[in-house]
Amino acid sequence: MSHAAPRPLSVSARGPLRGTLTVPGDKSISHRALMFCALAVGESRIRGLLEGEDVMATAAAMRAMGARIDRDADGTWRVHGVGVGGLLQPEQALDMGNSGTSTRLLMGLVSSHAITATFTGDASLSKRPMGRVTEPLSQMGADVRSSPGGRLPLMVRGLCPAVPITYTLPIASAQVKSAVLLAGLNTPGITRVIEPVPTRDHSERMLRGFGAEVTVEDSPEGKIISIHGEAELKPQTIEVPGDPSSAGFWMVAASIVPGSEIVIHNVCMNPTRTGLITALKLMGADIVEIDAREVGGEPVADLRVRHAHLKAIEVPADLAPSMIDEYPILFVAAAVAQGRTVARGAHELRVKESDRIAAMRAALEAAGVQCEEFEDGLAIQGSAGAPLAGGGSVASLLDHRIAMSMTVAGLAAAAPIAIDDVSPVATSYPDFFETLHALTGAAQ
């Protein structure tokens, strides 16, 4: 899965955002839906699947391990699963492109099957640490051979039957938690994960929906998530709600561009994913939930967002697990707020698709924003609602969230912001720029 040719873009202010939109299906849920459907016996259907490059990497990997996955003309995906324990030996390396979620969760799946899989990825993914996942999987009996530094390419030779473990997460990571739980699916006995800090719980919710025996209980050490192995998953019809991470770009854009008013339909409101909304409301954002409901076991709502005069805050560090992917766009909101916003406790940003702390500091400074960098975050001096200076050049570093965040910054800048490459946006939000043009009434 080679990276697309660079696509430079110059972004300038173009007036208020108005209208209604639906964001792509939630990326975390889309990955899991494909994996769990591929492990059920029979045909499952998925509607609203995110069709970005990251999720397509998951689909390709599950096909390579025996599942039949087809897309109907109406956008419904049909998945004929192989059953837990039924994964086949892939004939060649699994190319994960830029998708860390695909890589880490699939490593978990492979670990308790009697197969061997080699994982490769693009330049960005190959820099990301995998040791946090390989450590517990090795405890379960998997044989993992990685490149120096615990990075890709790496090979996982699964053990069947694997060994159930009780594992306490050393860092707040839904990917590590999910990898261990997925390894536990085909492991006799009970596999347990203890998470001292709650993380997104899509795996637990969805596995229960497929018929796995998953329990969650509180303890002095944190939440204990237990899965009973050698599960039999039953086919399902999945409705994927809109991705709150994708919605975040429009929430901030409408908040910082005067005269804006938008409604974002069908946004996942899982409480482990709404940290950005909480932070923006603390800053004074005008975000109203409409028609709260439940879709496929996940809370969902429509969000009406209007322009507001944002004020700086000290971002509560305990929000980090529920908004770790949204910090880049929160930094843009802070750049236009009144006062000095301080966001700390986000060490994980250093090991995302890029070092998002350093990348956003450099990008915002290129747009004329004063920043102070910490090991675990940024302090940002806002413009008090005045346009950003703009006029600089930004490196996206193959990171879709840097590219989209700085596109939003360009909407509130006095001079255009030049982004060296926005092609990575296709990994998570293929229609991002079409939506931008529709909301601003600008010609493409």
Report, as residue numbers or ranges, the catalytic residues.
Answer: 325
Residue whose structure tokens are 């939440």: 223
Answer yes or no: is 141 a known binding residue.
no
10 Å CB burial of residue 324 (0-12, 13-18, 19+) is: buried
The terminus-to-terminus CA distance of the chain in angstroms comes to: 28
128 a known binding residue? yes
Tell whether 203 is in a known binding site: no
Closest CA to 280 of 258, 247, 302: 247
Q: Where are the alpha helices (DSSP H) in 257-399?
A: 275-282, 327-336, 356-366
CA 180 vs CA 106, 107, 135, 195: distances in Å? 10, 9, 10, 12
Tokens of 330: 């929160």
Contacts of 56 (CB under 8 A, 6+ apart): none
Tokens 């090979």 correspond to 155
Q: In whole angstroms, what is the distance from residue 90 CA to residue 195 CA?
A: 32
Instruction: Collect all residues with Cβ–Cβ distance below 8 Å to 310 and sequence separation of at least 6.
Output: 255, 256, 280, 283, 284, 285, 333, 334, 336, 337, 338, 382, 385
Q: Is 311 annotated as a binding residue?
A: no
| 401 is an annotated ligand-binding site residue | yes
Q: How many CB atoms lie within 10 A of CB 337?
A: 27
Question: Is 356 labelled as part of a ligand binding site?
Answer: yes
C-alpha 329/C-alpha 391 separation (Å) is: 19
234 annotated as a binding-site residue: no
Annotated binding site: 27-28, 32, 100, 128, 173, 175, 325, 352, 356, 401
Annotated binding site for phosphoenolpyruvate: 27, 100, 128, 175, 356, 401
Annotated binding site for 3-phosphoshikimate: 27-28, 32, 173, 175, 325, 352
